[in-house]
Amino acid sequence: MTALAALIRRDIRIALRVGGGALIGVLFFLTVVVLMPFAVGPDLALLSRLGPAILWLGALLASLLTLDRLFMADHEDGSLDLITMSRTPLELACAAKALAHWLAAGLPLIVATPVLGLLLNLDMIATAAVALTLLAGTPALTFTGMIGAALAVTLHRGGLLMAVLVLPLSIPVLIFGVAASQAVIVGPMTFGAPFSILCALSLVSLVIGPFAAAASLRHGLD
Amino acid sequence: MSGLNQGDMRLSGHGLRCVRGGREVFAGLDFAAGSGEAVAVVGRNGSGKTSLLRLIAGLLVPAAGTIALEGGHSELTLAEQCHYLGHRDALKPALSVAENLTFWADFLGGELFDAVESLAKVGLDHAIHLPAGFLSAGQRRRLSLARLLTVRRPVWLLDEPTNALDVAGQDMFAGLMREHLAGGGMIVAATHAPLGIESRELRIGGVA
């Protein structure tokens, strides 16, 4: 356990230092969401209808942006070799890295959501709903994105490949995340059904992600 | 010292064949090292010195042949009993010298670890709080060497270990290797320069 805790602590520390990924994600999120009202125009009703979708898109793209470095940095400096060789199972090490990434890059997005909700004319309840769906859904984005990040290392291809691989996996998360938020704002669906599916997606990816990523990394040993 | 049984371990490989990128690097390679022995792997560039180390470390899969550690820990794999020092030094520039070293000690399971003492041994104790990004190539190498001291493991796999080290650094490192061998450890080092300790030579690739 100390090994995993050490890995999580290290990754969070690196992400929060100057040049780390955490701030980049939040800034990107901020940029996308702040620009959107200017692009859509001064139609408040339209803005609040689009609000949840914009917030979700921003969060999805922001998490994709920072995910492709998840294993690449460790691969380039040789840390991944030592992690593979260690007594810690690679699956657990992958899960720890994804958890650290979510804590450093995913949580700040959720914290920023209430502020950005103001810009999109969302009321308190709608903003809370979006934040709640993001809290339930972003782990799925991180843990499925991890598979793409591992494949990017294995195949020696960077960013773009990763986006292409991961996007289809993240579409269900986007659909049910936005659906659950919309249910609170305009109805007529209940909030519970899409939200439960969103939670289920997160739980499934929590299990599958680390195994798929570890398998990919092992296969790509070189 | 705990963790090492003295004088009864033997690392050996038989009939090793290594293929990378569809090209055969070497075939029919045998090697052996007992407790307290060092093997210097020599050969021209591209002859497969690094590949051999990575085979032992479990980071490559041999196309044929076997590698075994007799007398080692029965519940651990060979890779888990090896320290691997590659040419990439596994340091994070954003973290300080102490943070880098402490991470590897915690992650690799160092029980009797003291960061200051390990860093003093490699002559880096003056730079404990400096971010690793500001270290020179020789200092980075010294910091990687300190990792070998955080956890005791019987097999050291060293890839060009003396690269970028100054003369004093090479002497210091020779001392560390002698200490490791005296404790019953084994060393397999890929090298062009003399190691500075008594070692058996293993030539790969023959005459090109």
Q: What is the ipTM of this complex?
A: 0.87
- Tally: H helices and E strands in chain A: 10, 0
Q: Which of A147-161, A174-188, A201-215, B10-24 has the lowest mean pLDDT?
A: A147-161
Q: What is the pLDDT of residue A97?
A: 94
Would the CB atoms of B108 and A81 count as touching at under 8 Å?
no
With CA atoms as reference, the chain B residue closest to A89 would be B80
Q: Which domains does chain B have, with CATH numbers?
A: 35-57+79-203 (3.40.50.300)
The answer to whether the Cα torsion of A132, A137, A143, A147 is positive or negative is negative
- Residues of chain B with Cβ-Cβ distance to A9 below 8 Å are 103
| Chain B interface, Cβ < 8 Å to A | 20, 57-61, 76, 79-80, 82, 84, 86-92, 94-95, 99, 102-104, 106-109
Would the CB atoms of B90 and A77 count as touching at under 8 Å?
yes
pLDDT at A173 over 90: yes
Average pLDDT over residues A100-104: 92
Q: What is the DSSP string of B142-201?
A: HHHHHHHHHS--SEEEEESTTTT--HHHHHHHHHHHHHHHHTT-EEEEE-SS--SS--EE
With CA atoms as reference, the chain B residue closest to A13 would be B95
- Residues of chain A with Cβ-Cβ distance to B84 below 8 Å are 81-82, 85
**Residue in B60, B87, B95 closest to A221 by CB:** B60
Tens of pLDDT, residue by residue over B115-163, are 888 888 888 888 888 888 898 988 999 999 988 888 888 899 999 888 8
Pairing mode, strands B10-20 and B23-34: antiparallel
Contact (Cβ atoms closer than 8 angstroms) between residue B51 and residue B18: yes
Give A108's Cβ-side CA count (13 Å radius).
20
Closest CA to B167 of B123, B104, B108: B123
Q: What is the pLDDT of residue B1?
A: 42
Q: What is the pLDDT of residue A91?
A: 93
Q: How many residues does chain B have?
A: 208
The alpha carbon of residue A59 is apart from the nearest alpha carbon of chain B, in Å, by 26
A22 in contact with B, Cβ within 8 Å: no
**Residue in B76, B84, B87 closest to A82 by CB:** B84
List all residues 6 or more positions away from A124 whose beta carbon is below 8 Å from its beta carbon. none
Q: What is the pLDDT of residue B3?
A: 46
Q: Which of A14-23, A140-149, B91-100, B185-194 has the lowest mean pLDDT?
A: A14-23
- Residues of chain B with Cβ-Cβ distance to A222 below 8 Å are 20, 59-60
Residue that the structure tokens 């914009």 belong to: A54
Q: What is the pLDDT of residue A158?
A: 63
Could you tell me where the beta strands, DSSP code E, fall in B21-145? 23-34, 38-42, 64-70, 82-85
Tens of pLDDT, residue by residue over B168-182, are 888 899 999 999 999
Would the CB atoms of A6 and B89 count as touching at under 8 Å?
no
- Under the banding of pLDDT at 50, 70 and 90, the label for residue B208 is very low
With CA atoms as reference, the chain A residue closest to B106 would be A3
Closest CA to A148 of A134, A175, A135, A167: A167
Q: What is the pLDDT of residue B7?
A: 54
- Under the banding of pLDDT at 50, 70 and 90, the label for residue A222 is low
**H/E stretch holding B13:** strand B10-20
Tens of pLDDT, residue by residue over B54-108, are 999 888 888 888 898 888 777 888 888 899 998 888 888 888 898 899 899 888 8
- Under the banding of pLDDT at 50, 70 and 90, the label for residue B207 is very low
Tens of pLDDT, residue by residue over B15-37, are 889 888 888 888 888 888 888 88
A207 CB burial (10 A radius; 0-12, 13-18, 19+): exposed
A88 in contact with B, Cβ within 8 Å: yes
The alpha carbon of residue B85 is apart from the nearest alpha carbon of chain A, in Å, by 9
Q: How many residues does chain A have?
A: 222
Alpha-carbon span B142 to B172, nearest angstrom: 10
